[in-house]
Structures are given as C-alpha cells and as structure tokens.
Structure 1
Amino acid sequence: MERVIKLVLAIMLLFCLLQMPYGYYSLLRFACFAGFGFLAYLAKKKENDTEMFIFGALALLFQPFFKIALGRALWNIVDIIVSISLIYSILNHKEPKEK
C-alpha cells in the first residue's frame, strides 16, 4: 500500500511539469496532503521518526488550505525533487527482517 501511494504521488507530481488545468493542481494538493499525511502516520507506526518528519513536512508544504506561493519554476523543482525521492524510496525499500 505504501509503495502504491508513493508511486501515485510521484506520477501526479511529474504531471505538474505539463500545462494542466488549475483544477488539477487543487486536486494534487489534496492528494499530496492526504497521501503524505498517511505516509507520516505509517512511518510513526514503524517508529521511523525521520520519515515521519519528512512526510509530515511535505504534507504541510502541499496542504490546500493556506497555499504557499513559490512560483511555477520553484514548484516544478520541488515537484521533481519529491518525485525522484519517492521513486528512489520505492526502489530501495528493504523489507524488515522477521525475528
């Protein structure tokens, strides 16, 4: 489930590099807020405080209620960095060892 959420968010963020209608960006903000919030919750359950902090910060960055105006160019850079990081985390995911 975690991998699916990361992959969907990464793809949605990469679509931001195209000219999309304004409604797409509003949908993206809600999806990222919910997705990163849920990933932060999962990280907390796994007692991974670093991931919890990162996903929580991303949820706050993308939250749709008080928009952060960074400008299109800077948002594109943020989108690329977050997308690449999500894909990297999917590819380098290590299953916990069973006791």
Structure 2
Amino acid sequence: MAVEVSDVPESKRYEAYVDGESRVAGLAEYIRTAELIAFVHTEVAPEYEGKGVGSALVRTALDEARAAGLRVLATCPFFAGWIARHTEYQDLLYQSRSKVSD
C-alpha cells in the first residue's frame, strides 16, 4: 500500500491518499505562523486505521517543518504520542521561552 501525503495550505492541513485513490484516507489539521506549526487534529478513515496512514502524515509534516525551520506544537494527541515514540523528532518541539519561577 503506497501512501502519498501532501500539504494543502489553503485548507490548513496535510492530506494522505492511498494507492492513487482520489478519496482522502487521512488528514492532519494545523495552525501555522512564521515560526511555529501547531498540529491540532489528525483523522484517518476507519478502513485505513493501523495501516501506516497516520504515521505517514506525521512523518511528512514533521520533515517539512524541519526543512522550513519551524518549531512544532503537538496539541493533537496522535502527533504528541507519535513524537514521544520517535525521539529523533523531539528536537522540533516548541519550548516556551518564559521560565516559571518558584
């Protein structure tokens, strides 16, 4: 099964397609600024769950964030969990510049 992922900026989301089908198999919605991209929602069609569509969405989106020099805010639980399991992407995570005082 081949998964193709592309950014659709006018819809503020990444879309995944499987085996050249025209139907969206999964999507990852985001909010983007000049310095940050926040992933807020990920959805995979039930028939594609567990088949790597979500992982392809996350990996592509994070690779493109890295290439663009963006920090990542993973408010979506799927993105947050995926990054937690793939430590090679944790350096992208947004860190607040303000310090909490005791």
- The interval holding the TM-score normalised by the smaller chain is 0.3 to 0.5
Which TM-score applies when normalising by structure 1?
A: 0.36
Q: Relative contact order, CA 8 A, sep 6+: which one is greater? A: 1
Higher strand share: 2
